[in-house]
Amino acid sequence: MKETFLIGTYTKKTSEGIYTVELDTETKTLTEPKLIIKASNPTYLAISKSHHLFSVVKENDEGGISSFDLNDNSFTAADKVLADGAPPAYVGIDEARQLVFSGNYHLATIDVMKTNNDGSLTLTDSVTQEGLTGPAPEQSSPHVHYCDLTPDNRLVVCDLGMDLVVIYDISDAGKLTAVSRYHSEPGFGSRHIVFHPNGKIAYLMGELSSQVEVLSYNSDSAEFEHIQTVKTIPADWTEHNGAAAIHISSDGKFLYNSNRGQNTIAVFAIDDKFKLTLIQSISTEGDFPRDFELDTTEKFIIVANQNTDNLTLYTRNQESGLMTTIQKDIHCPEGVCVKVIH
């Protein structure tokens, strides 16, 4: 079987935009990446069930979201919504309401856009996060780093600047209403969050603290409650590290996160009370692993190392959760986002 992945990149050095790479699950190899869409700083991607690609994009002094049609491998540009200032850091999709969300780290905003059948976009709401920020130098202001759906179809937003997670209700018209706020310890640096398949447990990634918080989620009140906090790196690690991406296996037994600095993927086992135990810390064979992705079979993991311009391929044991390196040094310029096309 062959699976196709898209790689979003920065375009500060040699990258020219969005690349595609193919995984052959029989030979257990990746092809060399190919440029498919020329774009400036397409750093985060989301792919809809209708095979429309929504990408962060930067054009001159404006930033926003562009949409592309992936059907028939045409990669045709459909629309874009731009505004003055820095581009967003994240883009998410609401299939049921046909909405796209973008979270802007620098502007501390969440934008909501309606999507049409042709991939065009219409802005329906824009919310700016405000409040007290944390003690770290990176927390001089609010910083939205993630905005995507909860299992009960609300919007969950991670704000790194405020050590905060906010839950919003979403109207069919694409309007947001805040319903709850969860604060982590000062300096935690809330970056990304994933939910357990049961919809009642969430795993919150702290970039600045290199920690994961295990939280229970009450869908009636849309509130979180703390269960456990674990480190993603060894206690004696003294050099800089920034925790980045986080993913959970579909069986709810294993959690994975990338560490930029230690340059590892941390593998956690999830017990019957949903608590975490670190069982592996494996090198990403490169520097600054900003993102990674499991393939559709969940037998493989692809990691993008931003600073060393390379991808690394691993097999994943579905029983033990452990990873094994099988291919490295696959040249891919400035890779920062990895998405499989289902």
pLDDT single digits (tens) 40-71: 999 999 999 989 999 999 999 999 999 999 98
The answer, yes or no, to whether residue 119 has pLDDT greater than 90, is no
> Among residues 179, 209, 231, which one ends one of the domains?
231
One domain for residues 119 and 79: yes
| Three-state secondary structure call for residue 210 | coil
One domain for residues 287 and 150: no
AA identity, residue 40: S
Greatest Cα-to-Cα distance within the chain, rounded to the nearest angstrom: 52
> Among residues 211, 231, 251, which one ends one of the domains?
231
One domain for residues 266 and 332: yes
| Three-state secondary structure call for residue 322 | coil
One domain for residues 218 and 102: yes
pLDDT given at position 197 = 98
CATH for 338 = 2.120.10.30
pLDDT class of 208 with cuts at 50, 70, 90: very high
Q: What is the CA radius of gyration of the chain?
A: 19
The answer, yes or no, to whether residue 120 has pLDDT greater than 90, is no
Neighbours of 11 (CB within 10 A): 18
Mean pLDDT across the chain, nearest whole number?
97
One domain for residues 202 and 275: no
Mean pLDDT of 82-90: 95
CATH for 85 = 2.130.10.10
pLDDT in tens, 2-45: 999 999 999 999 999 999 999 999 999 999 999 999 999 999 99
> Among residues 181, 213, 231, which one ends one of the domains?
231
* Domain annotation covers residue 19: no
pLDDT class of 78 with cuts at 50, 70, 90: confident
pLDDT in tens, 255-266: 999 999 999 999
One domain for residues 202 and 215: yes
One domain for residues 62 and 154: yes
* Domain annotation covers residue 284: yes
The answer, yes or no, to whether residue 225 has pLDDT greater than 80, is yes
One domain for residues 201 and 110: yes
Range of the domain at 273: 234-342
pLDDT given at position 11 = 98
| Three-state secondary structure call for residue 259 | strand
In the chain, the number of structural domains is: 2
pLDDT given at position 234 = 93
* Domain annotation covers residue 283: yes
Give the separation between CA 247 and CA 160, rounded to whole angstroms: 18
One domain for residues 190 and 327: no
pLDDT given at position 258 = 98
The residue with tokens 């404006």 is: 62
Mean pLDDT of 267-280: 98
One domain for residues 154 and 273: no
pLDDT given at position 342 = 87
Contact in structure between 57 and 64 (CB atoms under 8 Å) = yes
Mean pLDDT of 101-129: 94
pLDDT in tens, 149-186: 999 999 999 999 999 999 999 999 999 999 999 999 99
> 0.95 exceeded by the pTM?
yes
One domain for residues 111 and 212: yes
User: What is the dihedral sign for C-alpha 24, 29, 34, 36?
Assistant: positive
* Domain annotation covers residue 287: yes
pLDDT given at position 133 = 98
Give the separation between CA 127 and CA 102, rounded to whole angstroms: 11
Contact in structure between 116 and 54 (CB atoms under 8 Å) = no
Burial class (CB in 10 A: 0-12, 13-18, 19+), 179: middle
* Domain annotation covers residue 45: no
pLDDT given at position 299 = 98
User: In this structure, what token pair is assigned to residue 271?
Assistant: 């017990």
How do beta strands 90-94 and 76-84 pair? unpaired
The answer, yes or no, to whether residue 74 has pLDDT greater than 90, is no
* Domain annotation covers residue 30: no
The answer, yes or no, to whether residue 118 has pLDDT greater than 90, is no
One domain for residues 217 and 69: yes
Percent of the chain with pLDDT over 90: 95
Rounded-to-10 torsion of CA 248, 34, 49, 243 = 30
| Three-state secondary structure call for residue 231 | strand
* Domain annotation covers residue 262: yes
* Domain annotation covers residue 116: yes
pLDDT given at position 249 = 98
pLDDT in tens, 228-248: 999 999 989 999 999 999 999
Closest CA to 305 of 273, 335, 340, 281: 335
